[in-house]
Amino acid sequence: MTNPDSAGSAHPSRAAGYALIGVAAVAAVIGVATLFTGGDDEQAGAQPTTSATAGPTSDGQTSTGQTSPGQTTDGQPGGTSTGSAPQTTTPATPPGQPSTTVAGAPQTTGVAPPPVTTTAKPPVRVYNNSTVVGLAAEASDDIRRAGWEVAETGNYSQGQIPTTTVYYRPGTDEEQSAQQLGQVLKAEVKPRFEGIEQAHAGIIVIVTNNYAGPSGKI
């Protein structure tokens, strides 16, 4: 038969052994947890932390105050401008400096003005009505030197002309040129008369014995 006293004493000892095993298991769990927790704290302590007061940025988003290297506060990469492209402006004329554009100033085109054209002198025909041989040729030389073209020389035998005269056709541009030639030759200037009015166009000079020429010497 079993002793009841020995059975009663065995139960408390077994319970105490179970309690010690439980305490050891809890201690082991706590030790393992402490080991892993301490390792995380050391690793976290190696990273510097920065804190700043959160606030709105220029783009309306909340900034935490931390920026990564190479980034601006708005999240854009460093060195990259997010604004619009720069605009070029024409510098104003400094005070006291003359302006290059004058309102109302005439513009030059660089084209030379057309040459001034002068009216060509009409041709001259010289006729001798004197007793001096070769007088028409002599008068022709004087007329050419004065700038007129002599188209013909000859004799006039249809009548007696009282004095050396320069004749022109009325209503034509011959009159002005005839007046100039008369001053050079020191001769009278008149419209054509009936005997020569149908002759060739141009000025007619009839020289007589009193022809002196430009020099005024007979």
Tens of pLDDT, residue by residue over 36-82, are: 555 444 444 444 444 444 444 444 444 444 444 444 445 444 444 44
| DSSP per-residue string spanning 15-78 | HHHHHHHHHHHHHHHHHHHHHHHHHHHHHHHTS-------EE-TTSPEE-S---TTB-TTSPBT
d(CA 165, CA 174): 14
Instruction: Evaluate whether 199 touches 168 at the Cβ level (below 8 Å).
Output: no
Query: Which residues make Cβ contacts (< 8 Å) with residue 66, sequence separation at least 6?
Result: 50, 52
Which band of pLDDT confidence, cut at 50, 70 and 90, is reported for residue 113?
Answer: low
pTM of the complete model:
0.47
- HEC string of 85-107? CCCCCCCCCCCCCCCCCCCCCCC
Return the pLDDT at 145. Answer: 96
| Chain mean pLDDT for the chain | 73
Query: Which of 170, 177, 162, 168 lies closest to 205, judged by CA?
Result: 168
Which band of pLDDT confidence, cut at 50, 70 and 90, is reported for residue 148?
Answer: very high
Maximum distance among all alpha carbons in the chain?
208
Tens of pLDDT, residue by residue over 151-176, are: 999 999 999 999 999 999 999 999 99
Please report the domains of the chain, with CATH numbers, ordered by start residue. Answer: 124-207 (3.30.70.2390)
Return the pLDDT at 1. Answer: 47
The single residue listed with the structure tokens 């070769």 is 134
Q: Residue 189 pairs with which residues in a beta bridge?
A: 166
